[in-house]
A and B are shown apart, each in its own frame.
Chain A
């Protein structure tokens, strides 16, 4: 029993927070409810701190739930991402149009995080599937949070349909695994010993992979991304593009390592094609966008391609570089979203063309945004360079030189469009730039944390060393 509490500590803490916030919102006096953000953030911060305490590894529920050192690291990474989202969403939530339902925002995001944790720790397809649903269905209502905005509702409708469709694909794949490996085969430890690359199992893998690919928005499963990212409230978009995508990547990573190892030879072909398509198409479409949120949607599609590039090698080195890549992507991308949402909340402007002359009026914001964009593009002193470097190295290590070369060309293309934003801010002139803004302290804290991460993760090699050290009891 004591062991179970240790193993499921992050999940139990999340559930406790959900229940507490629910009751708090119901019964607390109005005076206290005004501080819902502070209460939610403080509780969540405490639970993250507890997450860093040493804990046991092992499995519970007869192999249904597994905890390794790496799942713990990964869960902490996702929690930090969510905390950054909380910090930057405070202004938007305090608006009088949304403040009456802000507790729900915290409750729902925390429950989705719980779903992601279950998905990552799952040792059985049933739990994996339920975790995935828990990580996507409540998100639908958050995407449609501004319910009087047509765009938000449209995005919500698209998101729920895509979620249902991709779950259907995945369930079909799982049912084929059931057929090919028997009822016991739904447990991952049994299935991995029964995989032998028969056509039936490969078909199952393809369907299963397509279901997950929708969640990570890999090309050709990406068509929903831009519309949903644009329509959803900016903080929810940030959550979708970083935490939600990161969870799906981590889950796929553990599965590919733990479960699909016998099919790896075949899976590499599929992933090769997916990487090339995802990086290239994501980049080409990103160049054409003017809406910042659509731009970030395509940029995040192409980033997902780089993450997958790390996974193709399937070595422990590759796995640690994927986690490192995601960590760096998390701070850089959340930093960009923080700036975008500050600008949107204060001036209502989200287009790149609106950012012209931003440097004159808001020099700090523009410099910070530039640093994050450089990190995302992979310019040397920042963490983004190192994370890209490790991912490329992991692929080259296994002989994927052509793939590395294609990805490298795409990096140059991506620099072009990241610099377009920088050019708009620093060089282009505007008749009426966004006026000088006051940034609230919560967003400032979020920006500072992201900036420290972007600079620190690159220079301080201890992080990568930690990730690539003992943590590989996958």
Chain B
């Protein structure tokens, strides 16, 4: 269980990026953070990843406080961030240095098959398309078998077709080990396609506006009415979050309510 308790982040120049974030994510749950730009989604993800330190509050994973990059927490960035001097296979194996050669090879081979890039194993990242590179980045995060996987708008730079196929690759990988996933996105369709719950955030300072459970059965039919309804619900919440900056919604009951729901 990933718990965020009263998380706040104030930058050195006084900008309040996040204010009192409380969120509990069950094991194996996929949570989508949606919200307008500048509402601290990425900041929140960087805090969980341990790349930045929270000003106030704590992050706990199964009761253990996180205070820096943790072996059980993986992240996929907005850009692939592959190391250009390593082959595709070596990029995927980057986080597997602690394993012996055979185990490492087996995991990389499996991941390559899973993302459909087996025949590209020995190529340079520069020879791959953007979508292929992002698949490699996702595989690099998955092969370490993280308990929590953080995705920072990983599909935002891709076209719609590539994005849809990457959603499938991601869900296929997720099915295997069922890690907890926190996905930052500005694409409501994407949130409804992937997530069990959408957390709508509000800017200045970044805080949680509302939480919407997305209980559609998988695999999700993107043309069906329930899907449309969910998209509309999230959009409505997003609209409210941007139009009522002064309003203080159910922040206090967030945690309790979430606990009751799940």
Q: Do A and B come from one complex?
A: no
Chain A interface residues (CB < 8 Å from chain B): none
